[in-house]
Chain A
Amino acid sequence: NAGVTQTPKFRILKIGQSMTLQCAQDMNHNYMYWYRQDPGMGLKLIYYSVGAGITDKGEVPNGYNVSRSTTEDFPLRLELAAPSQTSVYFCASSRGTGRETQYFGPGTRLLVL
């Protein structure tokens, strides 16, 4: 199993550009999550999904969009990149909630200039 994979590892965007951060998992997990990690801060939940076709906002959804057309994939879209979106983005998946372990990808480091 590859677990949770994310691409790209690193990207530089100009203000106003768009991009999609890719996330895939091969564990047949229903739940998938996108977090951002800012320096000196904990992870903040952007969006999550409880299954294909179902997504919901987390704590910091503004400026992002997601879709979940398959169980495996959960891409995160930035439409108009802003410097405030400079961060490290982590995708995670889990079988369920509560004590079910969240498995994390290696992260995508995004710099918006």
Chain B
Amino acid sequence: GEDVEQSLFLSVREGDSSVINCTYTDSSSTYLYWYKQEPGAGLQLLTYIFSNMDMKQDQRLTVLLNKKDKHLSLRIADTQTGDSAIYFCAESNGNDMRFGAGTRLTVKP
């Protein structure tokens, strides 16, 4: 089946930028998403990008999409301790949605 892959862990210092990477295999993906999961909570949609875009910026978040390489990244500027969470990449072809395993971001003071 189609896969979504991400590295499992990322650790950064407070104030630095974080970059979380994701690769996917479904060439018919039309929407790509980043979700955030805090401890004991469900997933919360952070941002999404349509497949005909290559960048989307929303305050401290920047999403970059390289459709040719099927690579998606999420950059968090000025990372804060409150950004510590698990970040899930997901893709959809308009019918169903596939999630990566999640990247646990740890922000050290």
Contacts and interface: CB of A to CB of B under 8 A. Distances in A.
Interface in A6-63: 35, 40-43, 45, 48, 58-59
Given A104-B44, A105-B42, A43 B99 contact: yes
Sorted from nearest, which 4 A-B pairs have the closest CB atoms?
Answer: A104-B42, A42-B99, A43-B99, A104-B43
A98 B101 contact: no
A106 B41 contact: yes
28 contacts: A4-B42, A40-B8, A40-B101, A42-B4, A42-B88, A42-B101, A43-B43, A43-B88, A58-B96, A59-B1, A59-B96, A90-B42, A90-B43, A92-B43, A97-B92, A97-B94, A97-B95, A98-B30, A98-B94, A99-B48, A99-B50, A101-B48, A102-B43, A102-B45, A104-B43, A106-B41, A107-B41, A107-B42
A90 B90 CA distance: 15
Interface residues of A, number: 22
Nearest to B43: A104
A41 B98 CA distance: 11
A106 B40 contact: yes
Nearest to A39: B101
Contacts of B8: 40
Interface in B62-107: 88, 90, 92, 94-102
A41 B30 contact: no
A102 B46 CA distance: 11
Contact of A45 (B96, B100, B102): B96
B38 to A, nearest CB: 10
Given A90-B43, A102-B43, 12 more contacts: A42-B88, A42-B90, A42-B102, A45-B97, A58-B96, A97-B94, A98-B31, A101-B45, A101-B48, A103-B45, A105-B42, A106-B40
